[in-house]
Amino acid sequence: MRIASFNHKGLRNLCEQDDGRRVRADQIDRLRLILSALDQANGPTSVSTRRAHRPCFLLVVIFQIHVPRVAV
């Protein structure tokens, strides 16, 4: 699943360059878990369903004009 945009520069650096300096240290492991799940997902439903090998995440669908977006 492709991540279209980031609202946080630190999160973008963590995803693209594996640089966690702009993210709180206590959140880095959880954010890496979420980013890896999104990277391996085929779509929003595969992230929101619980499987034995990974946790599920609460997804929020955001509608802007006619383009639905998904936020974790």
Q: Please tell me the predicted confidence (pLDDT) of residue 20.
A: 93
What does the pLDDT look like over 45-56, one tens digit per residue?
666 555 555 566
pLDDT of residue 6: 86
> pTM of whole model > 0.75?
no
Write out the chain in H/E/C secondary structure.
CCCCCCCCHHHHHHHHHCCCCCCCHHHHHHHHHHHHHHHHCCCHHHHHCCECCECCCCCEEEEECCEEEEEC
Low-confidence ranges of the chain (pLDDT < 50): none
Q: What pLDDT does 70 receive? A: 66
Residue 41 has what pLDDT? 74
